[in-house]
Structure 1
Amino acid sequence: MINVGLYYRVKPGHEQDFEKSFEGVVTFLKGHVEGFRDAKLYRSVNDPQEYMIYSEWDSIETFKKFMLSRQFSDTTQYGKTILEGIPRHRIFKEVNEE
């Protein structure tokens, strides 16, 4: 299993749009994307425009496959309307479950 942090800066006034979109995307991922386990949304206390999505995946391969998918592309196209700058991600660690 791997954990991935996805970092976003949301344009002022679009916080609720981003949060609602997150809920819909997670629901879709759980039902349609192999290898996705779960995700949680965190908001910065010091800067309410900054968010992090902490996601769990079966493997680096399943995460990368999603990053190349049409579903991810569609999500990023919508994101361009409510986000500032380019989102970034970080893989925290890979855990071997036995």
Structure 2
Amino acid sequence: MKSQSLLLKFPIKLLIAIILCIATLSACKKEDARISDATYREIAWNYLDPSSKTTVTTQWQKASVTYEKRDNKDMVTVMFNTTQDALLGPIFVYIDSKNQKVVGIGARF
């Protein structure tokens, strides 16, 4: 009787361990495939000219990052608040998420 219960417990524990390993590996692959918000912030910051950088009021590492679809492209928008927000609005940098290239900067009025 003991040998039967031992045989039933062992395969179940092994099966659970295998499922957990597979789930962990697939989650790691998905995370690696997606570029982090920090990377998009750095791309946007490096794109700004020095005079724009001097007006940014918060640390660039904490800039707002949003994901959206524009013109059938997956875009990332990085927003930097500036000292001129009341007059011109914040700086928006648009990045194509497929190739991580800057598409442009939003108009400031």
Task: State the TM-score bracket (shorter-chain normalisation).
Answer: 0.3 to 0.5
Task: Decide which structure has greater helix share.
Answer: 2
Question: Which structure is larger by alpha-carbon Rg, 1 or 2?
Answer: 2
Structure-1-length-normalised TM-score: 0.34
Which is bigger in relative contact order (C-alpha 8 A, separation at least 6)? 1
